[in-house]
Structure 1
Amino acid sequence: MTMSDISQFFAEYGLLMGGIICLIVISAFFSGSETALTAVSRARMHSLEQQGDKRAGTVSTMIARQDRLIGALLIGNNLVNILASSLTTTLFLSLFGANGVVYATLIMTALLVVFAEVLPKSWAISATDRFALTVAPLVRIVFLIIGPLSSLVNMIVRFILGRFGVTLSKSGSMLSARDELRGTVDLLHKEGSVVKADRDRLGGVLDLGELEVSDVMIHRTAMRAVNADDTPEAAVKTVLESPYTRLPIWRGSIDNIIGMIHSKDLSRALAEPHASPSTIDIVKVAQKPWFVPDSTNLKDQLNAFLRKKVHIAVVVDEYGEVQGIVTLEDILEEIVGDISDEHDLEISGVQQEADGSIVVDGTVPIRDLNRALDWMLPDEEATTIAGLVIHESQTIPEERQSFTFYGKRFIVMKREKNRITKLRIRPLDGAAAMTPSSR
């Protein structure tokens, strides 16, 4: 082929080839923009927008209408891909005759896959936020021009799927904000970016709305309380010797809570002139008790504690019977972990054995055990580890009876009446057995 032939070729087909190359570049722009704008961090864009970045505001506006945005980019991408393929086919038909269709198909497939799909999408995913901010002004023009057509296409798609009984959600995500945050934190922990303690604290905050007061309260069987019918000396001694600063006062039965005594209020009363333990009426010093339903979620209860500036409440069931007490500290411990001071009793209820097993008191909450040992025992149906064994076994186990579920062997070490008071838990080697089995 002589130089004159080459010159003639480019004179005849140069404009057409240039158009095809431009269309491939535009297709790459659409593909990269779609990847970047669907994977961009909404939180990062919001932060940049607050700092005055107008491009971040543009991105936030477009991803708020994600269905319209993706539709506009897909329509634009398909238009340029089809046009590029048509022009290439026309070029190759004039050069190679009927065989040009085959050549055009093979060459355009290779070019579009490499240069209009894999390359721009790989680039976009490697620098998502920066890529999204760069293309935002141009994509906004496409969004405004093709957006109405995209909305029309979405309406047609919803109508057709609706004829087959398929309803598309208009929300942008199938996951709640809580689930998205939880998944992000767990993933970052798995990758090593977030330490376990921080993951547990963030998880505790996210779980407040899912937990009820009954999940964290001090049960009535473990509740310290003062009998109003005791002698003044005995009542004062009970309060002052208690490791807790606030105690409920009952009369007649534990279901009749008549007050809440604070050790500081008692100390002030004892500091009055001529006051002594034998003359103190502890009921008069006490404050009015606050009763809350056991079904109240922890988020609402925390807000109620802060609003009323009260640190303790009596928990009752739907029949008005006292189930226990809940404190502000109990809720905060769900976020930050165990809070201990110099007067707290150091009773964890969990003991590591030399053989790798764990000896646990039956009253230990499942959530505390999961947090301490990084386990995943379910806590939807039971609050304590003893309650989990009873729920899974569907019986009140006997001593030395064992059960296997959730990849652990649970051995009942001690039982008092109908209560499991001590268990040995031994993790199993190999796959977890999800169905309880007894032997």
Structure 2
Amino acid sequence: MSIIIVLILVILSGTFSGLTLGMFSLNLTALERKIRLGDKKAKKVYPVRKKGNLLLCTLLLGNVAVNSAMAIFLGSIAKGFIAGLIATGLIVIFGEILPQAVFSRFALTLGANTAWLVRVFIVLLYPVSWPLSWMLDKMLGEELPVIWSKKEIKEIIKFHRDSPDSSIDRDEERISLGALSFSDQTAKDILTPKSRVYWLKGETIIDEKLLSEIKKMGFTRVPVFLETDKSKMGILFVKDLIGINVNGKQRVWELSRKENMIIIKESVKLDHLMNLFINRKMHLALVCDENNKFKGIVSLEDVIEEIIKEEIFDELDKTNE
């Protein structure tokens, strides 16, 4: 009979100890995410785990009570030193080390299977554990959700990429990291400088020579500036030249488009620039410095390249050839 009682106490001690480590190795944010993905185990654990301070007080009080009962019981059937040695050995090996090692590796599975048992413990110890948990709630507040920084998310993605069991491949990893990084960059980082941009003066007369030059360059959109007022900018859409009557009177500025122009500072972040491209339905932006001096151009393709971390060949690349 004594052996059975000791065995029950050891099992209870290990259960309380293992549950304490296992349950609190599951953070609420991860459980909520798993529930949204349809994980049934997380759904079983979450209602118990979300009452963090009450759960902690219940498990710790239960563990202390069981270990104390074991020491007292062994002391009644054995001499002092021997009883202490046996109690210490049983508690350390079977009440702490082994159960914590097991629960730490299979926390979610074991937590889901023992959630009903934890509820029983909470009910039994509620008169003592609730006042303590209430004080902890008042002093420490509710458990804060786990929020990862952008750098941490990047490291998580890299870890999954390098894991043989991960479903994330190299392309997905590259694009994910690019999407997380491009908002840290500015237009200045990716612009094509003015020295390599083909542009036209607004006062230029449209004639056969100019049409031939534009055709030879092969661009579909050309920046336009007024020589008399360089703060005024436009974009000439080459398709607007189709069927034009070359009479030597029409100037480039007259055909260039000024509406919905995207003119930005060098310091504009790429995520904001992407939104401008989408909202304005434009593919090209003119970049100026703080003094409104033209510095270069950025295309939608340039921004996308920073996301996918792959070069897309577009008409602007001709300026670099």
Tell me the TM-score normalized by structure 2: 0.79
Q: Determine the structure 2 residue equivalent to 1:284.
A: 254
Q: What's the secondary structure of 2:290's corresponding residue?
A: coil
Q: Deviations over 1:270-294 (max 9, x none)?
A: x25xx23745532222100431222
Are 1:308 and 2:280 an aligned pair?
A: yes
Shift of 1:179: 3.1
Contact 1:31 1:77 in 2 (8 A): no
Q: Deviations over 1:292-340 (max 9, x none)?
A: 2222211111112111112212112222222222221111111122112
Q: Determine the structure 2 residue equivalent to 1:90.
A: 72
Shift of 1:140: 7.2
Contact 2:224 2:236 in 1 (8 A): yes
Task: Give distance in 2, aligned partners of 1:61 and 1:216.
Answer: 49
Are 1:339 and 2:312 an aligned pair?
A: yes
Q: Deviations over 1:29-81 (max 9, x none)?
A: 343333345694653332227xxx6x655666777x6xx52x44432332122
Q: Determine the structure 2 residue equivalent to 1:202.
A: 176
Are 1:48 and 2:16 an aligned pair?
A: no
Distance 1:42 1:206, change over 3 A: farther
Q: What's the secondary structure of 1:48's corresponding residue?
A: coil
Q: Determine the structure 2 residue equivalent to 1:249.
A: 224
Q: Determine the structure 2 residue equivalent to 1:184.
A: 156
Task: Give distance in 2, aligned partners of 1:16 and 1:314.
Answer: 80
Which amino acid in the other structure matches residue 204 of structure 1? Answer: G
Task: Give distance in 2, aligned partners of 1:277 and 1:131.
Answer: 85
Alignment of 1:71-150 (within 5 A): 71-99=53-81, 100-124=83-107, 128=108, 130-131=109-110, 133-134=112-113, 149-150=132-133
Q: Determine the structure 2 residue equivalent to 1:227.
A: 201
In the alignment, structure 2 segments of 5+ residues that lack a partner are none
Q: Deviations over 1:203-249 (max 9, x none)?
A: 11112321222222222222221122334234433432224321111
Distance 1:343 1:250, change over 3 A: closer
In the alignment, structure 1 segments of 5+ residues that lack a partner are 1-9, 159-168, 349-439
Shift of 1:171: 4.8
Q: What's the secondary structure of 1:232's corresponding residue?
A: coil
Q: Which has the higher contact order (CA 8 A, sep 6+)?
A: 2
Q: Determine the structure 2 residue equivalent to 1:31.
A: 21
Tell me the TM-score normalized by structure 1: 0.60
Coordinate RMSD, CA, aligned: 3.6
Distance 1:142 1:40, change over 3 A: farther
Shift of 1:191: 2.5
Contact 2:198 2:222 in 1 (8 A): yes
Task: Give distance in 1, aligned partners of 2:23 and 2:270.
Answer: 42
Contact 2:22 2:103 in 1 (8 A): yes
Q: Determine the structure 1 residue equivalent to 2:189.
A: 215
Q: Which structure has more helix as a fraction of its residues? A: 2
Q: Determine the structure 1 residue equivalent to 2:8.
A: 18
Shift of 1:347: 5.3
Shift of 1:119: 1.6
Contact 1:28 1:117 in 2 (8 A): yes
Identical aligned pairs, as a percentage?
19
Moved more, 141-150 or 311-320: 141-150
Which amino acid in the other structure matches residue 135 of structure 2? Answer: L
Q: Determine the structure 1 residue equivalent to 2:146.
A: 173
Alignment of 1:416-427 (within 5 A): none
Shift of 1:103: 2.4
Which one of 295, 298, 305 corresponds to residue 323 of structure 1? Answer: 295
Shift of 1:95: 1.7
Distance 1:319 1:76, change over 3 A: same
Shift of 1:173: 3.5
Shift of 1:261: 0.7
Q: Deviations over 1:364-394 (max 9, x none)?
A: xxxxxxxxxxxxxxxxxxxxxxxxxxxxxxx
Which amino acid in the other structure matches residue 18 of structure 2? Answer: A
Contact 1:13 1:91 in 2 (8 A): no
Task: Give distance in 2, aligned partners of 1:236 and 1:142.
Answer: 86
